[in-house]
Amino acid sequence: MTKFKKSQKRNPKYKAKKTTSSPKAQGPSETIGSGPVGALTRWARLNRRLSFVLAVPQQSPSDIEFKKLARRAQLHSRKSSIGLTKANIVGYVEEQKTRLTKNPFTFAELPTYGLLDVQRAIGGRLAPGLVSGTLAALIHGVPMCLSDHSLVEEAKHLACARFTFRNPGEKQAERLQEMIRASMPKLIDSYTLAEKPLLTLLDMAKQNARPTTLQNKLRRMLETRRRWFEKNVTRNMKMLKPAEEKDKVAMLALDILPLIVARINTDNALELAQALTTPLGSMALGMLPCFPLPEDMQ
């Protein structure tokens, strides 16, 4: 009940001020209508359950290949859930889609419509499953695994850094779970790199400077981000070192910022800035550890 002073009680025209703050005062938030119904709560539930997000080939594999794929993924999931995106398995037969809804698999959705806009904006010629998987992994705060050699080659277009084993005799199957655990702090720490690109995107949306000037500013950030991630990995993941072109890849560092720099213009800058400056959207500008899923099963 609202308390009044004596002078206020004598004045019948007095009206108590509303205590609710205006939308502007509340700052950016994920509103009820910002994403598919229930997507935000599903994101929250999955956040501590996922081991990694898995990217698979777009075309439906044979039954034998599919069973091998499911077994390989389950073997390296540490008894946790494995995330998939619906965009990745559109071409699969119904029986396979049904299997991928059961443990340990689950769908890792993009929880806001703005992130779906980002996915469409940066997709281009890359496989839809690779782009959606990268965004889903960043938003859920887990690494990504690639089930196929062709996906590894395609992911190199998103990679800002590549790593290989210091010891050539190391096997991916033996070290994958250890690398996934060790890479998690690098992923979480990389979210601190999102602030400067976001401020630059906002400047472009508001036309505070010439677009070419801001694009060049974003390009300079790419090298800073690459050096930061490479330094952290070589310092804390002793089994890895930066890879040469001829080396077998043990881990990739994926970054969507180069795609944004390549595709952003004055027409779509505001849309991208609005999508990426939400609390969840800003997570898409982290840097994602990505691992080839071993072919051999230990």
Torsion of CA 264, 266, 272, 276, to 10 degrees: 90
Residue 15: the pLDDT is 47
Residue 187 and residue 288 in contact, taking contact as beta carbons nearer than 8 Å: yes
Quote the pTM value: 0.81
Residue 296: pLDDT band (50, 70, 90) is low
Calculate the alpha carbon distances from 264 to 30, 219, 278 in Å.
24, 12, 18
The identity of residue 32, as a single letter, is I
Residue 25: the pLDDT is 36
Is it the case that residue 240 has pLDDT exceeding 90? Answer: yes
288 versus 117: the higher-pLDDT residue is 288
Share of the chain above pLDDT 70, in %: 82
Share of the chain above pLDDT 90, in %: 33
Alpha helices in 156-277 (DSSP H): 172-190, 195-205, 211-236, 257-263, 269-276
Per-residue pLDDT tens digits for 76-132: 777 688 999 988 898 898 999 898 888 889 888 887 788 888 888 887 778 888 999
Per-residue pLDDT tens digits for 141-187: 999 999 988 899 999 888 999 999 999 889 998 999 999 999 999 99
Residue 31: the pLDDT is 39
